[in-house]
Chain A
Amino acid sequence: MKTIRGKVYVVRDDIDTDQIIPAQYLNLVPTIPEEYAKLGSYALCGLPDEYPAFVAQGQAKGLYPIIIAGRNFGCGSSREHAPIALGAAGVKAVIAESYARIFFRNAVATGELYPFETPNRLCDNLKTGDEVEIDISASNFKVIGTGAVYPLQELGAVAPVVEAGGIFAYARKSGIIG
C-alpha cells in the first residue's frame, strides 16, 4: 500500500501558474539542479498576501507535502516550472476538484506530483496544517484529526507514470522508447 502522509496547505479556486511561480522566476532553468531547488523556494509565492507563506523565508522547502485546492488548479500559462516548483518544494500530491489541462499533463509528464481529483469541495472543509494520509491504491484519503475518509478519483493510467518518475522514465520502463 503506497501512502502519502503529511500536513496540507489549502488554497481555493483558479490558482493560476503565475501564482504558483511568478514570471520573474522563469529565468531559472529547471534542468539545472541548483535552479530546480531555487524554484522550490519560490513555490506559491505569488498567492495573495492573505495566504500564509508556503515556503518560509530562507528555506528551500515547505512544510506541506499535500495541497488541497478547489476548481481549475494550475490554470493559465504552460510553464512546467509550476509543477516543478511545487515538487522541488516537497509537494508529493495535489488534491483538487479539477485541474487546468496543461498543468495536469505537466505534473504527470515530469512525475513531480500526483494530481488527484476529488468530488468533494475540500477547500471548505480542511484548513492549512491539518494532517491527512492518502492511500494511493485505495484511491482515498483520511483526515487524521477527525478520522473522516474522502474518496479520490482513480488515477488510472496516470499513477504508474508519476510513480516511475515521469513520462520518459515510464516509457523506458515499459519499453516504449529505448
Chain B
Amino acid sequence: MGMTITEKILAKAAGKACLGPGDNVWVKVDILLTHDVCGPGTIGVFHREFGANARVWNPSGVVIIPDHYIFTADQKAHRNVDTLRSFVKQQGLPYFYDPGTRTYKGVCHVALPEEGHVRPGEVIFGTDSHTCTHGALGAFATGIGNTDAGFILGTGKLLIKVPKTLRFRIEGTIPEYLMAKDIILRIIGDIGFDGASYCAMEFTGEAIRRLSIEERMTICNMAIEAGGKNGIIEPDDKTFAYVQQRSRKPFEAIYGDGNSRVESERVYDAATLEPCVAEPHVPSNYATARSRREVKLDRAYIGSCTGGKLTDFLAAARILRGRKVTIPTFLVPATTEVAEGLIREEIHGKSLVQIFADAGCEDIAPPSCAACLGGPEDTYGRTRSNEAVISTTNRNFPGRMGSKQSRIYLASPLTVAASAVAGHIEDPRDYL
C-alpha cells in the first residue's frame, strides 16, 4: 500500500521506510518557528528542563518572528520581545526578525515562507496553530505548545502520531469572483469545525494547481479551523519557483504515491462554489454572501496570516478602485514585504496605497497580527463593543477581535471589499 505525501514526509523524517495513520514516531525537525507570545514560555521550558547553559539543537533551525504584540504600550509585551532578544544573543541564532529594526517582518506565517524558511518535504513545527499554513509549499507543518517546542529546542525531535488523510479534490477553473478563502470556508462548512480533528487535510485537483502560492497558503492556513493537524498541497513548478527565489538550501520534493490510502475524498467543482461568509461564532458557520445581504456592518478588516498578503490587497483594490467605503475599513499588511508591495503595485496606473486612500479606508497600519486576535487594549483595530465586523481573518470566536459582544463575519478580500462599499454583507460579483 502506498503512502500519502504527509505519510512520506513523516516517514523520511522518522527514518522509516513506511508508516501509517496512528503510528507514533519520533521525527527530526527541520524548522521550529516561534514568536513573541509563545517564545518566552518556550525558552522558559527549555532552560528549566535542559539547564541555564543549554544550547539549542541547531541554531539555524530556529526561526523567531515577533508579530503579535508589537505596536503597543504594554510593558509585558516589550519585556517578552526583550526575552527573545537575549535568547537570540545567548544562542547565536541567525534568524530573528527584530521589531524596530530593518529586519522586522510582521506576521510569522507570511514571513516564514517569504524569508525562505519553508521548503518542500521538510518538517516544520511552530508555537502557533496557523503553522499549518506552510503545507502550501509541500512541507509537513503543524502547531504545538510551549512544552513540546521546548523539547524540540533541546533535542531537535518530537514524538508525533501520524494523521489519517482527508483528501479534498477541487476541480475546474476558478471564477474571477471566487477566492481561496471561499473554497476553504465551504469545506469547513461541509465537514464542520471539528471535521478534520487529528487528520491531515490534503488539497489537490486542477483548481488547486491553478492557485497562486499565496492563495494556497490561505487554504492550508485554515486547516486548523476544521481541527486539522496539517494542511498540505503537493509541490509543483509554482512551488519551486517561489522557494528557489528565496532559499538556496537544497530540498527534496516529496509526492504521495498513486495508490495511497485516504480516509475520505471529497470532490468540488470550483465553478459551482460561491462567495461566502462564516457567520459568528465558529468558522464552520457557512452562508453564501448573497443570502446575507440584510446583515448591516460597522467595520471591515483586511489583514492577518490568512488575508493580509499582497494577493489579498490586490483583490480588495480591484473592487475599491474608484469606489468609496461606507464603513471604517482597517488595512493591516501581514509583513513589511506586503507593505512595500502596496506602494509598488499598481492597477491602471494607481498604486494600491492610493486606491485605498481614495476609497476612504483608514490609514494603513504597520505589519503585525493587530486585531485578528484582539490583543492588548491599545491594539490597532480592536473591537470595543457590539460591532459587526467583516474580516479576511481566520477566526470569529466570541471576543476573538477584542470585545465579547462584537460579531465577526469571515470572508474573502473580494467579499470584504464589496461589503465595505455596501455597508452590509455583499456578494462581490456585481462589483467586478
Contacts and interface: CB of A to CB of B under 8 A. Distances in A.
B399 A46 contact: yes
Interface in A15-29: 16, 18-19, 22-24, 26-29
A79 B397 CA distance: 15
A23 B76 CA distance: 13
A110 B227 contact: no
B351 interface: no
B377 A24 contact: yes
Given A19-B398, A24-B374, A24-B375, A29 B41 contact: yes
A46 B404 contact: yes
Interface stretch (A58-66, A68-76, A126-134, A137-145): A68-76
A30 interface: yes
| Closest A-B pairs by Cβ, 3 of them | A31-B44, A80-B145, A106-B145
Given A26-B37, A32-B44, A72-B227, A105 B144 contact: yes
Contact of A78 (B80, B83, B128): B128
Interface residues of A, number: 39
Interface residues of B, number: 47
Interface stretch (B146-154, B233-241, B327-335, B357-365): B146-154
A75 B194 contact: yes
Given A31-B44, A49-B404, A102 B74 contact: no
Interface string B58-85: 0000000000110000101100100100
Interface string A135-159: 0000000000000000000000000
A166 interface: yes
A22 B41 contact: no
28 contacts: A14-B193, A19-B398, A19-B399, A23-B68, A24-B377, A26-B37, A27-B37, A28-B76, A29-B41, A30-B41, A30-B44, A30-B146, A31-B40, A31-B41, A31-B48, A46-B399, A48-B404, A72-B197, A80-B146, A98-B197, A101-B198, A102-B129, A102-B145, A109-B147, A109-B148, A166-B147, A167-B147, A177-B155
Given A29-B41, A48-B398, A75-B193, A102 B144 contact: yes
Contacts of B400: 18, 23
B148 A23 contact: no
Contacts of B407: none
Nearest to A169: B49
A18 B283 CA distance: 14
Interface in A84-131: 98, 100-102, 105-106, 109-110
A12 to B, nearest CB: 12
Nearest to A49: B404
A31 B144 CA distance: 16
Interface string B352-381: 000000000000000000000111110000
A77 interface: yes
B143 interface: yes
Nearest to B44: A31
A109 to B, nearest CB: 4
Contacts of A76: 129, 224, 395, 397
Given A26-B68, A106-B147, 8 more contacts: A19-B398, A23-B37, A23-B373, A24-B375, A24-B376, A31-B44, A100-B197, A105-B144
B404 A79 contact: no
A110 B40 contact: no
Contacts of A166: 147
B201 to A, nearest CB: 13
Nearest to B192: A72
A102 B37 CA distance: 17
Interface in A31-70: 31-32, 46-49
Interface string B127-166: 1110100000000000111111001000100000000000
Nearest to B369: A23
Query: Which of A22, A98, A101 has the most chain B CB atoms inside 10 A of its CB?
Result: A101
A71 B194 contact: yes
B299 interface: no
A136 to B, nearest CB: 22
Contacts of B398: 18-19, 46-48
Interface string B101-139: 000000000000000000000000001110100000000
Contacts of A106: 145, 147-148
B229 interface: yes
A14 B194 CA distance: 9
Contacts of A110: 145, 147
A76 B48 CA distance: 27
Nearest to A100: B227
B5 interface: no
Given A24-B374, A105-B148, A31 B227 contact: no
B38 interface: yes
Contacts of B69: 26-27
B143 A78 contact: yes
Contacts of A79: 37-38, 145
B278 interface: no
B227 A78 contact: no
Contacts of B375: 23-24
Nearest to B72: A27
B45 interface: yes
Contacts of A28: 76
A168 B143 contact: no
Nearest to A171: B151
A66 to B, nearest CB: 22
A59 to B, nearest CB: 20
